[in-house]
Amino acid sequence: MATQPNAAERFAQGILPENPVYRQLLGLCPTLAVTNGLKAALTMAGAVAFVLLCANVMTSLIRNLLKPHLRIVVFTLTIATFVTIADRFLAAYMYQMSKTLGPYIPLIIVNCIIICRCEVCASKQSPITAAADALGQSIGFGLALCSIAAVRELLGTGMIAGVRLLPAAWPDWGVMILPPGAFLTFGLLLGLVNWLSRSKK
């Protein structure tokens, strides 16, 4: 059996070489749904980071008690608990943002990134490695989300996070902040990432 990567390797892998969105194509539902503005994307990335960190550490702590046939259920219930905490926190302190994100916060429960990290890393390695892995993956996820959100918001409204960057004469490409824009932007960026990583080799 191959040796497991240590904490530093896990951290570094999550950001670019195994980026959850561009490389593993996981967690596409929030990637497409909440990237019509940079603020929403950052909040989403923060919520996912919190849930991923807590769930990874918790799974790693109980990894010796897990029974193989029940582990997925245990993962999901652990994640659901932390998602409830994150959801209540957002509703209490960032009410407007929690309205904007709507059902996509509870949908973190079925986000494949978190279940995948629990399965691949946390259920086999120590809590410190699991935490490093969670941080790396969250940063990778946050970067991916922000890259898509920045392109969509800039082209769709001429602004990034409410600050106007393009001249007022810019004809806002309304379609970019609507559902089709999410598919098109992500598809083109994915092609770009593939092309860049191919030419580097």
Q: Please report, as ranges, the residues that interact with another protein according to CB under 8 A.
A: 25-26, 28-29, 32-33, 72-73, 76-77, 80-81, 83-84, 87-88, 103, 106-107, 109-112, 115, 174-175, 177-184, 186-188, 190-192, 194-195, 198
The DSSP string of 69-99 is: GGHHHHHHHHHHHHHHHHHHHHHHH-HHHHH
**Residue among 17 and 102 whose Cβ is closer to another protein:** 102
Quote the CA–CA distance of 181 and 56 in Å, as a whole number. Answer: 33
Q: Amino acid identity of 101?
A: L
**Residue among 21 and 131 whose Cβ is closer to another protein:** 21
**Residue among 2 and 67 whose Cβ is closer to another protein:** 67
Minimum CB distance to another protein, residue 32 (Å): 4
**Residue among 4 and 194 whose Cβ is closer to another protein:** 194
Minimum CB distance to another protein, residue 191 (Å): 4
**Residue among 12 and 116 whose Cβ is closer to another protein:** 116
How wide is the angle at C-alpha 56 spanned by C-alphas 106 and 100, nearest 5°? 25
Quote the CA–CA distance of 161 and 193 in Å, as a whole number. Answer: 24
The length of the chain, given as a count of residues:
201
Quote the CA–CA distance of 56 and 78 in Å, as a whole number. Answer: 9
Minimum CB distance to another protein, residue 134 (Å): 19
Minimum CB distance to another protein, residue 119 (Å): 11
Quote the CA–CA distance of 195 and 201 in Å, as a whole number. Answer: 10
Minimum CB distance to another protein, residue 3 (Å): 29
